[in-house]
Amino acid sequence: MNTLQEFFQTSPVPPNTLAQGLWWIIGLPLLGAFVCGVFGKKLGRANVSLVASAAVGGSLLISLLAFWAVNDVRTAATSAYAALRTPYTLAVDSGTWFAVGDFRVNFGLQVDHLTAILLLVITGVGFLIHVYSAEYMSHDDGYWRYFAYLNLFVAMMLTLVMADSLVLLFVGWEGVGLCSYLLIGFWYSDAAKAWAGRKAFITNRIGDFAFLIAAFLLVTLVAAFESQATRANFGFPGGSPTTFSRGLDAQGPLHFEALKTFSRALVTNPTPGGAVAAVTPDTPIATGPLKDFTYGGVLTAVLLLFLLGASGKSAQLPLYVWLPDAMAGPTPVSALIHAATMVTAGVYLFCRLNFLLVFSPVAMGTVAVVGALTALIAALIAFAQDDIKKVLAYSTVSQLGLMFMAVGMGVFWAAIFHLVTHAFFKACLFLGAGSVMHGNADETDIKRLGGVGREMKWTAATFGVATLAITGVLPLSGFFSKDAILHGIHQTELFGLPWVGPLVLRLGQLVAVCTAFYMTRLFVLTFWGERSPEARAARAHESGATMVGPLVVLAVLSVVALVYGLNLINGQPVMENFLGPVFEPARRVVSALGTVRVEHGPIGVGGYAQAWALALLGAGAACFLYLRFYPTRAGQQAPAAVAAVRRFTQNKFYVDELYELLFIKPLKALSFVLYKVVDALLIDTVAVRGTAWVTTRVGAALRYVQTGNAQAYAAVMALALVGGVAYVIVRFLTP
Amino acid sequence: MSFLDTHLLSFIVFLPLVFAGVLAMLPREEHGELRVFSLIAMLTGAALGVYAYLRFDPAGPEFQLLYRARWFDEAGISYHVGVDGIAVSLLMLTAFLGPLVVLASWSFVTERVKEFHIALLVLQTMMLGAVVSLDLLLFYVFFEGMLIPMYLLVGVWGSEDRQMAATKFFVYTLGGSLLMLIALLGVYFIAMPAGSRTFDYATVYNAFLSANRELGACRGDPAACATLSPLAVTLRTWGPWMFGACVLAYAIKVPMFPVHTWLPDAHVQAPVAGSIILAGVMLKMGTFGFWRFAFPLFPAATQEFRVALAAISVVGIVYGALMCLAQRDVKKLIAYSSVSHLGFCMLGMLALTVEGATGSAYQMLNHGVSTGALFLLFGFLYERRHTRLMSDYGGIARVMPLFTAAFLVATFSSIAVPPTNGFVGEFLVLLGTFKSDLSLVLAVLASTGVILGAAYMLWMVQKVFFGQVTHGENQGLKDLGGREVLTALPFVALVLVMGLRPQPFLERLEPSARRLVARANVARPGAASPDAELLISALPLPPAGGTVAKSPEAPPRLPLRPARLATPPSSPSGAPEGVRVAPASP
C-alpha cells in the first residue's frame, strides 16, 4: 500500500516543468478548433474528427500528468500575497493581460486538486464525446463547424477551471456560453433552434451581469481592505500588509490567492496583547464607494450576486428556463455541455470561492434553499415530460440543485463528488438517448418508442446502469455521492439559520424519490414493453462501435467512481481527503467565525437503508404505474383533475409564459413606446423640427421688416436714438 | 531629431489633402486609377500613422512629435500640433480606417467617383488635424471643416432620403459647434491679459490652472471664495456657461441623449464609407473634445455637473439599447447601438478614475473597430440586396457562411464577449465606475447594458442570418469576394489582437487618462496633484523670421508613473521633447 501511495505521489514529470506546459491543455483544443474551423472543409470528414479528437486526447494526457503532479509532495506554488507556498498546486503566470491604475489581470493558470479532478472530467468525457460524435454527426453537412465549436468549447471550459483569477475565469465563463450559443443553434436553419440558442445566451447574460457586479464589488472591497487593514490582520505565518500590497501590484486583486489571503486576514484574531485593532467582518469600511457598509455585509451581497451569476450558468431558479430549450442542439452537445461540464460551472465557482462563501450563513442558506427548490421543481416537471432529452434536461437541473444544496451547506467535497459521478452517468444517459434517436429515426417521444431494449442491447444495458446510478441504488457511484450530500447536510447547521439544514434535507430526500420515479419511467417506457404503434422506424438498429464504445466506458465509470466515496484514506472518503487542501481555507474561516457547525460521524447502516428505501420507493412506484397500472387502463379517460395537473406540469408550470408576460413583453413595449413617443415625437418632431419651424416663422415674420423703405428705416433709427438717449438720461439721473 | 520627426504629424495630416489636390487633376473617367490612387494615399497615411504610434513614447512627456510655426501672430493663433496618448491612438485609428474605407467603397460608389475620393481625402485631413491640434482655433477650423466633406458624403452619395439626413446632420452639429466657438473665444479673452492673448492650448491651460485651483478651494470652503483672483472670479461666473457651450457641442457630436437624433438618420442614409467614418472616427471627436478641452479647462464646472452628465450617459446606455430593440432597420439598429456604446465612453470618463478613463479611451478605439466592422459588413450585404430591413433577410448564414462568420465576430466584439477587445474596454469602464464616487445605482444601471446589448444584437443576427431563406432574392447571394475579405480581415484580426494583447494600447492611453483625472480633479477640494503633473509643456513660438522652434535639451521629466508601478520610465534618446511654457502671471 505504501509503495502504491509513493508511486502516486511521485510525479513522472517535475512539477515545475509541467507547470510551464499547462497552457498546452488549453492550447491543443484551441488549435484543433482553428484547424477544423478554417481548413475543415478541405480536410474532409475523417480528418476533421481525427484532429478534433486527437486535440482533446492530447489535453487528456497532459491533464493526467497534471493530476498526477498535484499529488506530488514537491508540488507547491508560491503565493504573491503572503510569504507562503501553497502545497499541491501547479501554477504558471505568463504576464500581463491588462493592467490599468491599481487594477491588473495576468494570464495565469493554476491546477490544484479541485481543478485536476475537473480537468479529467472535462477532457475525459470530452474525449469520449468527440469519439461518439464522429459517428453521430457523420451525415451532417456542418461536420467541420461542429467539431470546431466543440473543440473551442473544451478549450473555454478548460480556461474556466484552470484560471487563477476571477477575470480569466470569466473569460471561460462567457466563452462556454458563447460556444453553447453556437452549438444549441447549430442547426440554425430551424429558427426555433436558433431562438433557443439566443435564449440561452441572454439568460446567461443576466447571470453574467450579476457576476460582473460581484467582481467589481470585490475589487473595491479588497482595495478598501488594503487601506484599512492593520498589521494585526496579517498575524499568520508569512503574512504582512506590505507583502499583500506587493502581491496586489504583481497579480491584481481578483487573483484567487489574493481573495484567499484577504479572507484569511479578515478572520485573523489579534494576538493577545497586541494593541492594534484588526479589521473584522463587522468593521465598517472607511473609504471608497462602499463607505459605512461592513465587510461581512458587502461579502454577503457579493455572494448573492455570484449566486445569480451561477444560477444563470448552472440553470438554477430563477434562470433555469434556458436549459430545457437548449436540447435543440445535437445530443452529444447536450451530453457534454448541458450535463457534464458547462452547467456545473456554478458549482465550481462556489467551490473555488469556498473561503468567501463561508463568511455568510445568509448567502449559504440562500444557495442551499435555491438549490433545493430548483431540484424539487425540476424533478416535478420531469414527471410529465415525454421527450427523452427534456426529461434528462430537467433531471440535470434537478441534480445541479442537489449540488447547490451541498455547496450551500458547506459540504463542498460532496458537491464535487456528485459533480463527477453525475458527469459520468448523465453523459452516459444523454449519449444513450442519442443512440436511441440514432437507431429510431430521430424519434424523441418516449410514448412512441418502447421495447427498444430488444434491438439495442448495448444501449439498453448502459442506459440501465446509468439509470441505476442516478437513482441511487447501492453499489453504484450515484448512491455514494447523493448520500454523501444528504449525510453532509444532516450533519451541518448554519449559524443563525438552524431550520435550513433539516428543510433542505427533507427536500433532498423527496427529490431522491422523484428522481427514482421519473428515471425509471423513462427507462421503462423507452426500453421495455411493446413497441409503440406510432413509432417512426419499424425496427430499431444498434449504433456502431464508436458510439457504443463511449457508452460502455461511461457506464463502467459510473460504477467505479464509487471508489471516491469509500472511506479508504485516514477514515475519510477518498474524495474528501483528496480535496482537503482545497477547502482548508474555508475550514479556517469556519473555525474562526463559527458560521457553520459540523458534527462528524460516519454514515450508519440506517442511513444507507433509508436512502435505498427511498430509491426503491420511487422506482417501484414508477414500475408499478407504467408496467401494471397504465397498460391495463389504456384507452380510458383520465379523471379531469389528474389531466389538469398533468397539463400544468407538462407545460412546465407556465414559468416561461410568466417570464414572457412579466419581463419580455413589457420591455419590448417600453422600447417601442419610447421610440415612438420620446425619440420620434418629443425629440425629433417637437424639439428639433420645432426649432426649425420657429426659426422659419421668425425669419418669415422678420422679412416684412426689411421693406427697403428709406423713410421707415429712418424712423426706426430715430426711435432707437430717442430710446437710447432716454436710457442714458434715466440711468444717470437715478442714484 | 530628424526632419521627419518634427514634421511627422504635419505629413500625416496634410498628405491626404495633397493627394486630393493631385486627384483633382486626374481624368474623371478613370475610375480604377482614381481608386488605386486614393488607396495608395490612404495606405501611405496608415503607414505613417503606425510609425507615429510606435514612435510615441508611452513613458515620455505628455505631448510629443511637437511642431509649432507662426500663423496669425496678431490674433495669437499659431500652427501648433502634437499628440498625447489618446490623440496618437485616435490618430492611428483614423489612419487605419482610411484605406479600408476606400476598399469598402470600391464597388459601392459608381457615380462621381473622383469627387467622392476627393471628399474622403479632405475629410481624412480634417479629422487627423482635429486630433493633433494644440491650438484652440486650429482645432475649431478642423472640427468644423469635417462637416463639409461629411455633408457631401451623406448628401450626394447617400440613399433615398439623403438630403434630409445631410441637412439635419449639418445643422445639428453646426449649431453645437458655433456655441463652442463662442466658448473658445471667451477662453481667449479671459485667459491672458490684452497684448499677450493667445489661442495656444498649453498657454491657456497653464494660465487657468491656479484660478481653477482657487475655485476648487472655494467649492470646499466658502471662506476661500472671498479671496479669489480676478481670473478665478471671471471663471466662476462664466466658466459654467463656456463649459455648457462646449458640452453641448461635444454632446451633439458624441452623441449623447437627448441630442442624438441626427445620428440614426445620418447613418441610415450615409454610404458605407460615410457610416464607417462617422461611427469609427467622427463620434470620437465629441468624446475627444470633452477629454481635451471641456474637462481640463473647466474642472470646477466639470465637478459641478459631473453627476448629471453621468446620469445622462447612463440614460444614453439604456435608452440607446432600448431603441435598438424597437428597430426594423439594421443600420438604424447599429446606429442606436453606437449611442449606447458611446454612453459607456462618456461614463468611464466622468467616473474620473484612471481605470474608467483608460477604459473609456480604449472603448473609443474598440467602437471604431467593432461598429466600423459592422457597418462595413452590412454595407457588403446592402450592396447585394439594397434593403436595410431585417424582414427582407433571414437564412443568410446558409448562403454566405464566410460573411456570417465575420459578422458574428464583429457582433461578439460589440457585445463585449471576452476575449474580444470590447470586453477589456467595457470591463475597465464599469470597474472605473464602480470604484468612483458616482453612485452605485448608476453603475448597476449602466451594467444592464451588458444584458440589453446581447439582446438586441443577437436578435438582429437571428433575424438576418438564421432560419430558412424566405426571400428568393437571397437564395443566390454570393459570399464575400477577395477584395471584401481583404477589407474585413484587418477588423477581425484587430478584434482579437486588441482583446488578447491590450497592454500596448493601454499603456499609451493610461498616462493620458491619469492626467485627465488629475486635471479634472483640480477643482475638487483637497486635490493633491502638484503643478508639475498638471502643467502642459509645449513648444514656445519660434522666433519671428519664419524659422521653426528647435527643441532644446530635455526638460525635467514629469512624474508620470504611479508609485506602485515601480519601474522607472526608461529614457529613450532622441525622443521629441518640449519646453514648458511658463504659466502666465495673473
Q: How many folded domains does chain B comprise? A: 1
Q: What pLDDT score was predicted for residue B291?
A: 94
The chain B residue lying nearest A100, using CA atoms, is B355
Judge whether residue A210 has pLDDT over 90. yes
pLDDT digits (tens, 9 = 90+) for A663-702: 888 888 888 888 888 888 888 888 888 888 888 888 888 8
Q: Among B427, B451, B465, whose Cβ lies nearest the Cβ of A202?
A: B451
Judge whether residue B552 has pLDDT over 60. no
Residues in chain B with CB shorter than 8 Å from the CB of A679 are: 261, 323
Where is average pLDDT lowest: A484-493, A522-531, B268-277?
Answer: A522-531
Residues in chain B with CB shorter than 8 Å from the CB of A209 are: 447-448, 450-451
Please work out, in degrees rounded to the nearest 5, the angle formed at the alpha carbon of residue B572 by the alpha carbons of B570 and B576.
130
Q: Do A100 and B358 touch (CB under 8 A)?
A: yes
Contacts 24+ apart (CB under 8 A), B397-405: B397/A188, B397/B465, B397/B466, B398/A188, B398/A189, B398/B469, B399/B469, B399/B474, B399/B475, B399/B476, B399/B477, B399/B479, B400/B477, B400/B478, B400/B479, B400/B480, B401/B479, B402/B479, B402/B480, B402/B485, B403/B377, B403/B479, B403/B480, B404/B465
pLDDT digits (tens, 9 = 90+) for A551-564: 999 999 998 888 88
The chain A residue lying nearest B362, using CA atoms, is A100
Q: In whole angstroms, what is the distance from residue A156 CA to residue A446 CA? A: 34
pLDDT digits (tens, 9 = 90+) for B189-245: 988 888 888 899 998 999 898 888 888 888 888 888 888 888 888 888 888 999 999
Q: Do A96 and B503 touch (CB under 8 A)?
A: yes
Interface of A with B in 205-244 (CB under 8 A): 205-206, 208-209, 212-213, 216-217, 219-220, 223
The chain A residue lying nearest B408, using CA atoms, is A182
pLDDT digits (tens, 9 = 90+) for A311-328: 999 999 889 899 988 888
Judge whether residue B133 has pLDDT over 60. yes
How many CB atoms are located within 10 Å of the residue A273 CB? Answer: 5
Judge whether residue B559 has pLDDT over 70. no
Q: What pLDDT score was predicted for residue A120?
A: 93
Q: What pLDDT score was predicted for residue A142?
A: 85
Judge whether residue B547 has pLDDT over 60. no
Q: pLDDT > 90: what percent of chain B?
A: 56
Any domain includes B566? no
Residues in chain A with CB shorter than 8 Å from the CB of B517 are: none
Chain B nearest C-alpha distance from A243 (Å):
13
Q: What pLDDT score was predicted for residue B555?
A: 47
DSSP code per residue over B253-270? HTTPTTS-THHHHHHHHS
Q: Which of B252, B259, B322, B440 to probe by mutation at the A interface, max A CB count within 10 Å?
A: B322
Residues in chain B with CB shorter than 8 Å from the CB of A144 are: none
Q: Among A96, A189, A684, whose Cβ lies nearest the Cβ of B467?
A: A189
Any domain includes B70? yes
The chain B residue lying nearest A689, using CA atoms, is B168
Q: What pLDDT score was predicted for residue A572?
A: 82
Q: Which of A38, A94, A98, A695 to probe by mutation at the B interface, max B CB count within 10 Å?
A: A98
Judge whether residue A217 has pLDDT over 70. yes
Among B60, B55, B53, CA closest to B86: B53
Q: Is residue A293 within 8 angstroms of chain B, CB to CB?
A: no
Q: Among A191, A217, A688, whose Cβ lies nearest the Cβ of B467?
A: A191
Q: Is residue A191 within 8 angstroms of chain B, CB to CB?
A: yes
Judge whether residue B574 has pLDDT over 50. no
Contacts 24+ apart (CB under 8 A), B71-74: B71/B138, B73/B541, B73/B544
C-alpha cell at B563: 508609485
Where is average pLDDT lowest: A614-618, B2-6, B348-352?
Answer: B2-6
Q: Is residue B502 within 8 angstroms of chain A, CB to CB?
A: yes
Confidence of residue B553 (pLDDT cuts 50, 70, 90): very low
Judge whether residue B171 has pLDDT over 60. yes
The chain A residue lying nearest B560, using CA atoms, is A101
Q: What pLDDT score was predicted for residue A274?
A: 56
Q: Do A100 and B510 touch (CB under 8 A)?
A: yes
Q: Which of B252, B256, B325 to probe by mutation at the A interface, max A CB count within 10 Å?
A: B325
Q: Is residue A308 within 8 angstroms of chain B, CB to CB?
A: no
Any domain includes B129? yes
**Interacting residues of A259 by C-beta distance below 8 A, sequence separation 6+:** A166, A218, A222, A353, A355, A356
Judge whether residue A441 has pLDDT over 50. yes
The chain B residue lying nearest A685, using CA atoms, is B261
Q: What pLDDT score was predicted for residue B577?
A: 43
Chain A nearest C-alpha distance from B358 (Å):
7
Q: Do B419 and A175 touch (CB under 8 A)?
A: yes
Q: List, in sequence order, every beta strand (DSSP E) within A225-315.
A: none
Q: Among A206, A289, A675, whose Cβ lies nearest the Cβ of B435?
A: A289
Q: In whole angstroms, what is the distance from residue A581 CA to residue A567 CA? A: 17
Chain B nearest C-alpha distance from A149 (Å):
12
Rg (CA), chain B: 23
Any domain includes B562? no
Q: In whole angstroms, what is the distance from residue B455 CA to residue B415 CA? A: 9
Q: Do A99 and B261 touch (CB under 8 A)?
A: no
Any domain includes B429? yes
Q: In whole angstroms, what is the distance from residue B188 CA to residue B76 CA? A: 9
pLDDT digits (tens, 9 = 90+) for B478-502: 888 889 999 999 999 999 999 999 9
Q: Do B395 and A206 touch (CB under 8 A)?
A: no
Judge whether residue A275 has pLDDT over 60. no
**What HEC string does A151-169 produce?**
HHHHHHHHHHHHECEHHHH
Judge whether residue A575 has pLDDT over 90. no
Residues in chain A with CB shorter than 8 Å from the CB of B322 are: 667, 670-671, 674-675
Q: pLDDT > 70: what percent of chain A?
A: 98
Element (H, E) at B303: helix B299-325
Confidence of residue A720 (pLDDT cuts 50, 70, 90): very high
Q: Among B171, B419, B455, whose Cβ lies nearest the Cβ of A171?
A: B419
- Interface predicted TM-score (ipTM) of this complex, two decimals: 0.91
Any domain includes B565? no
Q: What pLDDT score was predicted for residue A613?
A: 84
Q: Could you tell me which residue, B344 or A317, shows the higher pLDDT?
A: B344
Q: What pLDDT score was predicted for residue B563?
A: 44
Where is average pLDDT lowest: A136-150, A196-210, B498-512, B559-573?
Answer: B559-573
Q: Could you tell me which residue, B398 or A475, shows the higher pLDDT?
A: B398
Interface of B with A in 214-233 (CB under 8 A): none
Confidence of residue A735 (pLDDT cuts 50, 70, 90): low
Residue type for A133, please?
Answer: S
Q: Is residue B369 within 8 angstroms of chain A, CB to CB?
A: no
Q: Do A674 and B418 touch (CB under 8 A)?
A: no
Judge whether residue A251 has pLDDT over 50. yes
Chain B nearest C-alpha distance from A369 (Å):
26
Q: How many CB pairs under 8 A join A and B?
A: 149
Q: Do A212 and B353 touch (CB under 8 A)?
A: no
Q: What pLDDT score was predicted for residue B554?
A: 45
Q: Is residue B561 within 8 angstroms of chain A, CB to CB?
A: no
Chain A nearest C-alpha distance from B312 (Å):
15
Structural domain for B203, as ranges: 3-557+578-582
pTM, two decimals, is 0.91
Confidence of residue B571 (pLDDT cuts 50, 70, 90): very low
What is the mean predicted confidence (pLDDT) over A260-274? 76
Any domain includes B573? no
Q: Do A688 and B435 touch (CB under 8 A)?
A: no
Q: What pLDDT score was predicted for residue B562?
A: 47
Rg (CA), chain A: 32
Any domain includes B206? yes
Interface of A with B in 110-169 (CB under 8 A): 167
A537-546, B39-48, B72-81, B533-542 — most confident range: B39-48
Q: In whole angstroms, what is the distance from residue A579 CA to residue A354 CA? A: 12
What is the mean predicted confidence (pLDDT) over A195-215? 92
Among B538, B558, B533, CA closest to B60: B558
Q: What pLDDT score was predicted for residue B582?
A: 44
Q: Do A98 and B440 touch (CB under 8 A)?
A: no
**Interacting residues of B545 by C-beta distance below 8 A, sequence separation 6+:** none
Q: Among A99, A101, A198, whose Cβ lies nearest the Cβ of B353?
A: A101
Chain B nearest C-alpha distance from A209 (Å):
6
Q: Do A688 and B172 touch (CB under 8 A)?
A: yes
Q: Do B444 and A213 touch (CB under 8 A)?
A: yes
Q: Is residue B485 within 8 angstroms of chain A, CB to CB?
A: no
Confidence of residue B579 (pLDDT cuts 50, 70, 90): very low
The rounded mean pLDDT for chain B is 87
The chain B residue lying nearest A248, using CA atoms, is B564
